[in-house]
Amino acid sequence: MGRIGRSARGSRIGVLVLASALSAGLPGESSPVELAVGARSPIEVRLDAALKAEALASAEIAALVVGETGETLYARDPDGLRIPASNLKLLTALAALDAFGPTHRFITVIATDRSPDEAGAVGELGIRGGGDPGLNSEDWWRLAADLRRRGLAKVDGDLIVDGSYFDAEYWHPEWGEISSRAFHAPVAGLSANYGAFFVRAGPGARAGDPLRVQIDPPLAYFKAENRGETVGPEAKGSLSVARGQASGLAETVVVSGRLRVGAEPKDYARSVRAPALYAGALFKFQLEAMGIEVTGRVRRGSAKQPVELLRHAGRPLSELVRLFLKYSNNAMAEGLVKAIGAQATGEPGNWPSGLAEVRRRLDALEVLGPGARLVDGSGLAPGSRISPRMLVDALQQGASSFRFGPEYVAALPIGGRDGTLEKRTGVPEDRVRAKTGLLGAQRVMALSGFAERANGETVIFSILVNGYRGGVDEAMRAVDDWVAGLVETP
């Protein structure tokens, strides 16, 4: 991808600029001499027509398309402030890469009260989180394997989990009612599997049988409360999977409803209430799988034991950014905000310090304009306000950075290929790299990124739709049609 010139703060539409933009001679486009002063170009006509879709009627739409040399190819209220939904993650990723660099790795420390004795036994074992938002089951297995290789065979005391690198505010106060869905996962200094787990529910063999319920990972920490029932093939089936009560030792998962005989099992991604305890339970599971006996229980506490057994460096930030942009992972985005805060002002990392530093860095990069409001790092909070020009400027800055430009661009979903654009069939395959955004309750649809046009030109675009009237699928299709109109030439 070639370097894209920085967009101006004001409109650059003019006869000379427009003529320059069209001089490439796109098939089906008008030549410069055919355009009178003030006339709309073919691309403007095409994109305006796409936004007249019935699904977008009455919506507040702001959009901007900028060419390779910085000229404005299309503008519709480009400085209008809108709810960005998950397009806000583009700014979070830019600030995180600027703060840490693409090779940065977060450190998780394993310590104990004494060195392993001749039998490989220690007393209590502490896990001190370092804000790594990407630790998953495989990482905790790796930690256990590394400890076994270093001679650990038994933990006589408790497994102590310490997530104090971040504050204890797991959910942002402006997220509204918190559901048990995985996208509402807690944000903590010590976590596992992005604060989420899977529940698989399937019917029994006969009508009247209880449902078959499996939880992944299969930890004793989870207690399934199976209220579900198998019904006959003619009956209606519906299922609910929710969090129940949590104690210091376990979390309850409540499965209720009905599934028809012979129906395919369904998977449900859900979030935990106590992220550090969940991480500790998973670590205990992996230790025992490695043959390391743990006689005590998992509990919260200070993990500042004097003997350090292991310092685990997690995935590089470039990979974390790719994961949370490709799949729009909210917990990872917010974890990076808190980590930025901890780096800037010290422990514990929190939203106020993190967002203040994110804003400072974006201001230094000349990305944010007047009126910008950053409420969180993921876009879940409906109070954030960003314009298409700010998003276009962020994309330009990210792409042109020598320090992290390749990592930033590569983190975006590819149209028709992967991430949140994998099944967006209306987006031209391989011609778009962009971040999606969706807030159903606020009827927000957003898409910002890079597109390759028919003449090989790479452009930056951003479209923010607030308050659309149609259904989600219809609004999404209309936005995809708008992008297709940008890429293709009739």
Enumerate the active-site residues.
Answer: 86, 89, 328
Q: Are 89 and 322 in contact (CB under 8 A)?
A: no
Please enumerate in sequence order all residues whose Cβ is within 8 A of that of 50, keeping only pairs 6 or more positions apart, or say none: 478, 481, 482, 484, 485
Strand 251-260 versus strand 121-122 pairing type: unpaired
| Integer Cα distance of 450 and 456 in angstroms | 12
Q: Amino acid letter at 195?
A: G
Instruction: Classify residue 478 by its DSSP letter.
Output: H
Q: Give residue for tokens 């989180």.
A: 129
| Integer Cα distance of 71 and 396 in angstroms | 13
Q: CA dist 421 to 111, 171, 470, Å?
A: 42, 27, 21
Please enumerate in sequence order all residues whose Cβ is within 8 A of that of 200, keeping only pairs 6 or more positions apart, or say none: 213, 214, 215, 216, 265, 266, 267, 268
Backbone angles phi, psi at 136, to 5 degrees: -125, -175
Q: 248: helix, coil or strand?
A: coil
Q: Give residue for tokens 């409540």.
A: 254
Q: Amino acid letter at 145?
A: A
| Integer Cα distance of 67 and 82 in angstroms | 23
Please enumerate in sequence order all residues whose Cβ is within 8 A of that of 378, keeping only pairs 6 or more positions apart, or say none: 86, 88, 89, 92, 330, 331, 333, 334
| Integer Cα distance of 461 and 438 in angstroms | 17
Q: Are 420 and 326 in contact (CB under 8 A)?
A: yes
Please enumerate in sequence order all residues whose Cβ is within 8 A of that of 51, keeping only pairs 6 or more positions apart, or say none: 61, 63, 76, 478, 482
Q: Give residue for tokens 């949590």.
A: 246
Q: CA dist 396 to 263, 275, 420, Å?
A: 48, 36, 21
